[in-house]
Structure 1
Amino acid sequence: MSHLFPTYAKWEIEPESAKGSYLIGTDGKKYLDFTSGIGVCGLGHCNEEVKKAVEEQLNKFWHVSNLFPVALQEKAAELIVKGSGMDCVFFSNSGAEANEAAIKLARKATGKSKIITFLSSFHGRTFATMSATGQDKIKHGYGPMLETFEYVPFNDIYALEQQLTDDTAAVMLEVVQGEGGIHVAAKEFLQKVEVLCKEKGALLIIDEIQTGIGRTGTPFAFQQFDLNPDIISIAKGLANGIPVGAIAAKGNLKEFFGAGSHGTTFGGNPLAMAAASKTMEIVFNEAFLQAVNEKSSYLIHSLQEKLKSNQYVKDIRGLGLMIGIEVELEVANVLSELRKTGFIALPAGTNVIRLLPSLTTTKEEIDLAVEIIGKLLNSYTKMTV
C-alpha cells in the first residue's frame, strides 16, 4: 500500500536510472524519453557538466539561508539578466512560486489588483496561480477562486480590449500554451497586447516556465516576437532537474521588492544556483541554440512527412523543441501504447501528443521517435460503415 496521496495518475514505468535521452526502468527496459521531465532536463538526464558543478558546491556548503550574500546567486542572476534583457531577479523553488512572485510584484507596483489571463492557460497550482489559470478542471472542489482574475480567449485581441481597463494591474500570458495544447500566440496579437498594456498602465507578465531556457530556440520565447515584457517567470529547464524558479523584471520594479516584502527559505539554494549557472552557460550559447532550431525544423518536417496521409492527425505545431501533434484519438490510450514500444511522450489536453525532448537530442533519436510515433498512428484505421 502506498502512503502517498493519489494526486498523480502514475505510469507503469518505475525509473531505475537515466542518461541523456534515455530512461531505464526497474524492469531493465530502455525508453526513449521525449518528456525530459516535463521540459526540465533540457541538457538530458544526468548531464555531466551540471553534475560536476553541483558536486563542487555540495563539497562546500548546501544551505545557509538568504540572510547571507551568496556569490552563485549573483552569477545565476547575471546570466538570466544577460539572456533575457531584464534587470533584476528573485529566486524561488518552482514555477508556481515564480508566478506567485510575479503576481505579488505586479499588484504591489501598480497598486491595482485585477489581472487578466487567458482561457486554456496554465500558471500553477497554488491558490493564486490556480486562480490565474484559465482551465476549470484544476479548480474543481476548492471553492471560490480569487476574484481579481479575469479570463479572455487566447489570440483574441478584441476580447482583451473589452476587459483591459485602467484598473488592470497586469496581463499574464504564455507565448506558447503548453498544458493548454501547444498553441502558439500570433505575433501581431502579442505585440498588440503590449501596446494595450502600456496604454492602460498595466504590466505585461510573460510566463516562460515551460518555454524558457532554450526550449523554443532562443533563451526565452518572448524574444522571437519582439516583445518587451515587464516581468517574466522562469523554472523547469533552469537547473536541468534541480528544483528552482525565478522571476526577472525591469529595473523600475526593483524598489517594490525591498527588504521584507517577499521571501523564501530555500529559494536561491546554492546547489540549485550551481546547477542553474552551468545550465545557462551551456544553453545560452549561440551555436547551441542554432542546433536547437535545426533539430526543431528537422523533427517537425519529419513528423509531417511521416504522418501526412494519416486520417487521425489534425495538426502538427509548436516552437523549437516544444511540439504538439493534435489527433482525433484518445491521447491517453495512444501514449500508453507508445510506452509499450519503449517511447515516452506527454499529453497536452485530451487530444494532443506533446513532445519535449532534451535540447541535446540527436538526429538519430529524432529519427527513432518519428518512426515509433508514425508506426503506431499509421496502424490505426477508421471504422467504415
Structure 2
Amino acid sequence: MASHLDPAGEQVRPVQIVDLFAGPGGVDVAAEKLGIATVGVEWDSAACATRRAAGLETIEDDVRRYGPALFPDADVLAGGPPCQTFTVAGTGAGRRALDEVLTFVKRMVAREDREEIAKDLAKLEDERTGLVLEPLRWALEAIDDLDKPYRAIVLEQVPAVLPVWEAYAEALRSEGYSVDCDLLRTEAYGVPQTRKRAVLIARKGDEPVNLPSPTHRTYRKGVPREVGDNSVKAWRTMDDVLDRDTPFLVISNYGTGGDPKARGRRGSWEPSATVTGKISRNRVVSLDGAELDRFSFSEAGRLQTFPADYPWSGKDVGQQIGNAVPPRLAIHVLSAAFGWERPDESVLSRLETWRPVTASGDGDAVADREAESTAV
C-alpha cells in the first residue's frame, strides 16, 4: 500500500498520531491495525481504563492543558471533540452557539491574541462547546510555534458540527492544506450499524485529498440488501458480526418521531440502529416475542466494529462504546487522509481480534507493529 507524500514529494509513513478526546480508542485501534503508533489525550477516567487495558498509550488529562510542543514525534493530528452540546439528545448549547463558534474560527486564523480568545470561550453557555475548537488551536500552534505543520489532520463529530468543519476547511486551506469534509454514513463502509458522522480530512500540500469512497450500499428501510449499486457490497447486518443462533429483533429505547410508544425496531438481518450509551436498555426479542439476553458489551462493541475481545474496562462501558468512533470507518478515513489505497479485507479483518501494543516499547510489541506495517 502506497504511503502518502510529504510537501517535498518524499514517500513518508506517519510517525505517530496524537489523538485528542481519544475516548476508548476507536481511532487508535484503527491506527494500530495499520501499523501506526498513537498517543491519546482523554480526560474521562473510565475511557482511560479501557485504553490502558488495551495497551494504548494514554494521557489522562484535559486537552486544553497540552499542545503540539509536548508531542514532537506526532505528525498526524486526530480528534473527536465532545458532542454533548451539539447532539439532538444533548443540551443544544453548541447548536445555539454555532455562529459564535464560527466567529472564533475566524479570530483564531487571524491570529488574534490567544489569551483573549480563551477568556471569551470561557463565557460560552457550556464550556464543552469551545472544545470543538481545540484541534484548530493545535494545528495553528504546530505551524506558528514549531514551524512543523501536521502532515495530516483527521476530525469527526456528530452531523450538527459539519458547519464548523467547513469553517475549519477554509481555514486550513489558507494554511496550505488540501481538505475535504462531509457527512459519512457508517454502513456505507461496512459498519453493521446506521450512523452519520461529520468527517474532515486534510493533508499538507497541493495534492487533492478526498473522503473515502463508499464500499457498501446505504441502508434503506424496507429495501433488500441485494438491491442497489452493484459496484459496492451489500450493507452488513447484525447477524454478520454477532454469534447468536437464531434471528432476533432489537426494540430501541428511543421513540420514533418523538412518540415514546413508537419504539424503533431492527431485525438481525439489518444493520443495527445507532449504538448509543443507552444500548443496554434496548430489548432483544425472538421473532415470536420471547425476551432474549440483551447485548453484552462485547456484542455492542462488535456493532461498532471493535474486536470481539476488546478489553472494555472501568465504569459506563455502554457510554464508552456509544461515544466511540467505529474502527472500521476510521481505517477507511485514515487511509484516505494519507493518500493510501482503499484498505482491503486482509487489513480490515485485523479488527476481529485485539492484540495489545504496550506504550513501553517491549520487543514483542514492536516486532508485531513492524510486521503489520510491512504487511500494509
**Superposition TM-score tier, normalisation by shorter sequence:** under 0.3
Superposition TM-score, scaled by structure 1 size: 0.24
**TM-score, normalised relative to structure 2:** 0.25
